[in-house]
C-alpha cells in the first residue's frame, strides 16, 4: 500500500509483551507496551498533533497557510512540525531551555521556528518545572497574538484526548484481544491518559495516573519536589483540563531514578529504546503487578524515543 503522506502513518502502532522484564523480576501477570515511539515524530504526541490540526482546519478555526504556535517539551512540537509542514502551515515551537537539545534540533530539521525560553530562577538544566512551563506559556501566548496565529493548545484542545479515545484506547483493546485489566500513563497534558481511559474504563479496565514522587498534584497532595528529570510531564498541575471527570482508579508515583532505571531496563531486556516517561510507565506497571493488579494484564505506552535524550543523564 502506498500512502499519500507521512501523516497517514500516524497511529496503529504495535503492541508487544514485555515478557523478559516480567520473568526477570518474577512478576505475576503481563505488561503490554504500545510502541508509539515508532511513529514519524518518534512520540505519542503525533496522534494529538494530527487530531488538533485536522479538527481546527475542518471547523475553520485554522485558516489555510495560517501560522500555528504551541508550547512544547519537544514531542508535541515535533508532531506539529510534521503535520503543519505537510499541510502548509508555518509552525512556531516555544520550549523551555530545560528541555533536551535533540528535540529542538529535530524540530528545526522539520522546518519549525524554535523559540527557547530561559528557565525560571532556581530551575535545574534538564528538568522542566511548572514554573518553567508557565514562562513558556506566556511567551507562546504573546507570539500567538503578535502573529495572529492559531494556538494548538495541547493542554486545552479537545482534539488531544479525542486522538486517544478513538485511537490509542481502541487499538490497545483490539490488539490485546480485550485481555488488559489495567492501563497507566505518565501525565503531561493528560490527553493520552484521559482519552484512553474514557474508552477503556467502561470496558472494565482500571486506569491509573502516574506522577513524579514529590509532585503528586493530581493525587491532591502538596507538592514538595517539583524538580525531576522526567521531561514532558509531571508539571505539578492539579487542574489539567483533560483530566476533569476522567475515570481514574488511582494515582501512582515514581522517582526520577526509577524512571531512569526502567528506561534502561526496556533497552537492555526488551530492545525498546525509549525515553524517561516510558521508564516511568514501566515502573508504575511493575508497582501495579506487585500490588492491586497482581496477576493481571497492564498496558502502557512507550511515549517517545531514547534518541531524544542522548544529551541527558539517561544514557550515561
Q: So what's the pLDDT on residue 128? A: 77
Is 253 inside a domain boundary? yes
Is 226 inside a domain boundary? yes
The whole-angstrom separation of Cα 69 and Cα 92 is: 5
Is 190 inside a domain boundary? yes
Average pLDDT of the chain?
95
Q: Pseudo-torsion of CA 162, 163, 168, 174, nearest 10°? A: 70
Q: So what's the pLDDT on residue 223? A: 86
- The three cell numbers of residue 100 are 533536551
Boundary-marking domain end, from 151, 168, 192: 151
CB 188 within 8 A of CB 309: no
CATH number at residue 277: 3.40.50.1100
17-70 pLDDT, tens digit each: 999 999 999 999 999 999 999 999 999 999 999 999 999 999 999 999 999 999
| Same-domain check for residues 32 and 163 | yes
| Same-domain check for residues 23 and 162 | yes
CB 284 within 8 A of CB 210: yes
Is 273 inside a domain boundary? yes
Backbone angles phi, psi at 111, to 5 degrees: 75, 15
Burial (CB count within 10 angstroms: exposed 0-12, middle 13-18, buried 19+), residue 113 = middle
Is 211 inside a domain boundary? yes
| Same-domain check for residues 192 and 228 | yes
The whole-angstrom separation of Cα 201 and Cα 246 is: 9
Cα 163 to its chain centre, rounded Å, is 12
| Same-domain check for residues 206 and 293 | yes
Boundary-marking domain end, from 151, 184, 207: 151
Please tell me the total count of domains within the chain. 2
Q: Which residues are catalytic?
A: 45, 277
| Same-domain check for residues 104 and 251 | no
The whole-angstrom separation of Cα 11 and Cα 27 is: 30
Is 203 inside a domain boundary? yes
| Same-domain check for residues 107 and 213 | no
Phi/psi region, residue 187 (left: phi>0; alpha: psi -120 to 50; beta: rest), is: beta
| Same-domain check for residues 32 and 106 | no
- Can you give the three-state secondary structure of 90-137, one letter per residue? CEEEEEECCCCHHHHHHHHHCCCEEEEECCCCCCCCCCCCHHHHHHHH
The whole-number mean pLDDT for each consecutive block of 10 residues of the chain, a chain of 316 residues, reads: 97 98 98 98 98 98 98 94 98 92 92 95 77 91 98 96 98 98 96 98 98 91 84 81 96 96 98 97 98 98 95 88
Boundary-marking domain end, from 151, 174, 201: 151
Q: So what's the pLDDT on residue 225? A: 81
| Same-domain check for residues 282 and 225 | yes
| Same-domain check for residues 38 and 50 | no
| Same-domain check for residues 81 and 114 | yes
Domain that holds residue 277: 6-43+158-315
Q: So what's the pLDDT on residue 170? A: 98
The whole-angstrom separation of Cα 87 and Cα 98 is: 30
Q: So what's the pLDDT on residue 233? A: 84
Which residues pair with residue 114 across a beta bridge? 93
Is 1 inside a domain boundary? no
| Same-domain check for residues 26 and 164 | yes
| Same-domain check for residues 195 and 292 | yes
Amino acid at each position: 500500500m502506498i500512502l499519500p503522506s507521512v501523516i497517514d502513518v500516524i497511529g496503529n502502532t504495535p503492541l508487544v509483551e514485555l515478557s523478559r522484564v516480567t520473568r526477570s523480576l518474577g512478576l505475576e501477570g503481563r505488561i503490554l507496551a504500545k510502541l508509539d515511539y515508532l511513529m514519524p515524530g518518534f512520540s505519542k504526541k503525533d496522534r494529538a498533533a494530527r487530531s488538533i490540526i485536522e479538527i481546527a482546519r475542518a471547523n475553520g478555526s485554522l485558516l489555510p497557510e495560517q501560522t500555528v504556535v504551541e508550547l512544547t517539551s519537544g514531542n508535541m512540537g515535533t508532531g506539529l512540525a510534521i503535520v503543519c509542514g505537510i499541510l502548509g502551515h508555518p509552525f512556531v515551537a516555544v520550549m523551555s531551555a530545560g528541555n533536551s537539545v535533540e528535540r529542538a534540533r529535530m524540530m528545526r530539521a522539520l522546518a519549525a521556528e524554535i523559540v527557547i525560553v530561559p528557565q525560571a530562577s532556581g530551575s535545574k538544566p534538564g528538568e522542566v518545572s511548572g514554573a518553567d512551563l508557565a514562562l513558556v506559556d506566556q511567551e507562546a501566548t504573546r507570539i500567538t497574538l503578535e502573529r495572529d496565529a492559531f494556538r494548538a493548545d495541547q493542554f486545552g484542545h479537545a482534539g488531544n484526548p479525542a486522538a486517544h479515545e478513538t485511537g490509542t484506547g481502541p487499538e490497545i483493546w483490539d490488539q490485546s484481544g480485550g485481555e488488559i485489566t489495567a492501563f497507566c500513563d505518565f501525565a503531561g497534558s493528560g490527553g493520552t491518559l484521559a482519552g484512553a481511559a474514557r474508552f477503556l474504563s467502561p470496558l472494565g479496565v482500571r486506569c491509573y495516573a502516574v506522577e513524579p514522587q514529590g509532585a503528586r498534584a493530581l493525587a491532591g497532595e502538596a507538592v514538595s519536589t517539583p524538580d525531576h528529570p522526567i521531561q514532558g510531564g509531571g508539571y505539578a498541575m492539579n487542574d489539567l483540563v483533560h483530566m476533569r471527570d476522567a475515570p481514574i482508579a488511582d494515582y501512582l508515583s515514581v522517582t526520577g531514578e526509577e524512571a531512569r532505571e526502567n528506561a534502561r531496563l526496556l533497552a537492555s531486556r526488551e530492545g525498546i529504546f525509549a525515553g524517561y516517561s516510558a521508564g516511568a510507565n514501566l515502573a508504575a506497571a511493575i508497582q501495579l503487578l506487585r500490588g492491586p493488579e497482581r496477576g493481571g494484564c497492564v498496558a502502557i505506552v512507550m511515549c517517545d524515543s531514547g534518541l531524544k535524550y542522548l544529551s541527558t543523564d539517561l544514557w550515561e
